Structure 1
Amino acid sequence: MNKVIIMADVTAVAGTTPSSSTPAFFLPFNLPILSAFMAFALAQFLKIFTTWYKERKWDSKRMLDSGGMPSSHSATVSALAATIGIQEGTGSPVFAIAVVLACIVMYDASGVRLHAGRQAELLNQIVCELPPEHPLSNARPLRDSLGHTPFQVVAGGLLGYIVAFLMRNSN
């Protein structure tokens, strides 16, 4: 009984009607989610090439890391907001929520997370300079690639918008 109620609520919000041939676990075609996931995947994939350009080495592990160029967080939320704006209109409350979410995520990526990464870098340097007998001298290094520069955030945001625009045209 709960599954039917949940399915009815989801379909009412999405503006569709439930189909008896559609199983409850099937995700309907949702362009904003697909655009967001596509932008995230593309941004993570591009990090391999931007890392090569900067460091002249191929590092496929960059696809799984946070930080770097372009910001996948920014690409994701900007694709989501742009696709919602395209579908629902820029005057809709859903678009307003998506834009506020995108602004918070982008601000956090270039602010709090960037500075946390810089602090981790300094702490790692301090630990490396400790004498070998110190209890923290063998501590695992902290991850220092957490945040993004403003340029990386803007690049991710533009990538997300481009993905949303292209996904709209493919629909």
Structure 2
Amino acid sequence: MVFIEEVSKNDVFIACITAWFIAQLLKVILTLIFNNQIDISRFVGSGGMPSSHSSIVTSLTTGVGIKRGYSSVEFAISLVLALIVMYDAAGVRRAVGKQAKILNTMIEDIHAHRKDVFNEKRLKELVGHTPVEVLAGALLGIIVANLMVR
């Protein structure tokens, strides 16, 4: 119980969770607005606008900067982590989504001629983020941390 009590007092951690929550909630809301459907799975799903990965790591980095200073080792560690996560979201994970889309099309084409070749489910295509989605998530994280961390 001491752990939970201590963590609940950690304003940097609370800011990170809040930034993640807002980003995921925005995904549900934007899906409703643009696709005219309520898709609760967007709340826990990866990919889409804004990047919750970016929001959580930039909230962490900003919070660490506010608490420990922007010249601290802790800030440097957090910033490097944030840059890796955001690069991965817009680079590697986005490429995986594009590959999944191509593979799904190929499997559908093969199924049209031979139904017994693959029994796999469709691959998830919405995995990574566009640079704009990463930037939006990053800005969200910075704003949340500046509002919540003292």
Normalising by structure 2, we get a TM-score of 0.91
TM-superposed deviation, 1:49: 1.4
CA distance in 2, matches of 1:26, 1:57: 37
Aligned to 1:156: 137
User: 101-110 vs 45-54, which deviates more?
Assistant: 45-54
For the residue of structure 2 that corresponds to 1:25, the secondary structure is helix
| Percent identity for Structure 1 against Structure 2 | 42
CA distance in 2, matches of 1:82, 1:133: 52
Q: 1:135 aligned to 117, 122, 131, which one?
A: 117
**Residues 83 and 25 of structure 1, relative CA distance in 2, 3 Å threshold:** closer
CA distance in 1, matches of 2:25, 2:106: 33
Aligned to 1:39: 19
Structure showing greater relative contact order (alpha-carbon pairs closer than 8 Å, 6 or more residues apart): 2
User: 73-82 vs 35-44, which deviates more?
Assistant: 35-44
Code of the aligned partner of 1:58 = I
TM-superposed deviation, 1:52: 2.3
**Are 1:119 and 2:99 an aligned pair?**
yes
Larger helix share, 1 or 2: 2
Q: Equivalent residues in 2 for 1:75-90 (5 A)?
A: 75-90=55-70
CA distance in 2, matches of 1:55, 1:116: 23
CA distance in 2, matches of 1:158, 1:77: 11
5+ residue gaps, structure 1: 1-22
The list of structure 1 runs, each at least 4 consecutive aligned residues, that deviate by more than 3 angstroms after superposition, is: 23-27
Code of the aligned partner of 1:26 = I
**Are 1:26 and 2:4 an aligned pair?**
yes
**Are 1:64 and 2:40 an aligned pair?**
no
**Are 1:110 and 2:110 an aligned pair?**
no
TM-superposed deviation, 1:31: 1.6
Code of the aligned partner of 1:149 = T
CA RMSD of aligned residues (A): 1.4
Normalising by structure 1, we get a TM-score of 0.81
Code of the aligned partner of 1:154 = L
For the residue of structure 2 that corresponds to 1:39, the secondary structure is helix
